[in-house]
Structure 1
């Protein structure tokens, strides 16, 4: 799953109609609402403000709106393009200025598909990566090798000293088993691991 880094704007002129697409990174339905209001105000003289969006790290929320165009000829084609590219947390808005020539259902579907697809070709993508925060507890005589290994390979957030040494570490979830195996080997099996949380971020 991936998202986009920043807003992209492209313009297509198709049979005298102008199609302006905004592809926007969004993290919530509230974000979507804000951006729709912004673009409707910016292009208040346009004939249509059609949109589609996907929100949620697992593409949980998917919606589209044809804004007066024939049913499923505008919003749905944009939604399908975004799904085809495995995008999420993205809003696609295509503003249409009618040029006087009717495009028909097929022509509209192609136009809105092309408008969204063209913006996607201009995007910088961000990949969804899973991370795990955890505590690693070792004895004081094991600090040398273990701390160097952590600092060289992962993110050391904090160190707490009590009867043991407790490292708070951030690690890509895909590398968690490697970290555990390496530190278990360094400490001859005496280290303990406690997961704090696992979360996803875009990078």
Structure 2
């Protein structure tokens, strides 16, 4: 069974000025290392005249692949703090580049760590972060007598209806989190005395995006 995790739905950009140095954090969703590396190269071309383009990314539903780069900054002052922010937020399949334009004043090791960490946080704050939930599509077939009870049970369990068809009987297509599937099926069978027909469909990922359920 898959586990839910946080991911970037829409990337964003954050900016920070620290002792005249300008830090620009660009965040994107990245489903593979190839995608992350292509993004990093694109940022280096876009900000070709920057002092540094430091990067970090976490790839995989369980965050199996993690990489970071200081891009010329003192070792451990940029890439690692950036990666630690991503890990701390629990976000996966994400890549971030923090571009620095040196302002003429050295920040010191601690100052660099704080600046790069704060930049990533600013970039994430301007992004749309979602929780991806593994789900299963479930088709429910019932007569009109059982419809009210089924709608009540679904509402009590927070299960949303994707589609409904009304003919001589009723068919409801709903999306159930994987972790709730057996409970939902048991509740529907018991609540309708076994009259409702249930058919499991495809597995998918979904998320609540600004109050709207989106299948990913």
| 1:102 matches 2:106 | yes
* Alignment equivalent of 2:69, drawn from 65, 70, 77: 65
Stretch deviating more after TM superposition (144-153 or 180-189): 144-153
TM-score, length of structure 1 as denominator length: 0.78
1:175 to 1:16, Cα distance in 2 relative to 1, 3 A: same
Residue equivalent to 1:179: 184
Unaligned runs of 5+ in 1: 160-164
Shift of 1:47: 1.6
Residue equivalent to 1:56: 60
* Alignment equivalent of 2:131, drawn from 112, 123, 127: 127
Q: Deviations over 1:40-90 (max 9, x none)?
A: 111011121100111222222211111111111101101111111121222
CA radius of gyration, larger in: 1
Distance of 1:6 and 1:41 partners within structure 2: 22
Residue equivalent to 2:213: none
Shift of 1:171: 2.0
Distance of 2:146 and 2:37 partners within structure 1: 49
* Alignment equivalent of 1:23, drawn from 17, 27, 43: 27
Distance of 1:63 and 1:145 partners within structure 2: 57
SS of residue matched to 1:35: helix
On the 8 A contact 1:132/1:170 being kept in 2, the answer is: yes
Q: 1:152-163, aligned counterparts within 5 Å?
A: 154-155=160-161
Shift of 1:14: 1.5
SS of residue matched to 1:5: strand
Residue equivalent to 2:87: 83
Residue equivalent to 1:42: 46
| 1:143 matches 2:143 | yes
Residue equivalent to 1:33: 37
Residue equivalent to 1:6: 10
SS of residue matched to 2:143: helix
1:144 to 1:52, Cα distance in 2 relative to 1, 3 A: same
TM-score, length of structure 2 as denominator length: 0.74
Residue equivalent to 1:170: 175
Distance of 2:145 and 2:15 partners within structure 1: 57
Distance of 1:129 and 1:22 partners within structure 2: 25
SS of residue matched to 1:91: strand
- Aligned-residue CA RMSD (Å): 3.1
Aligned residues: 196
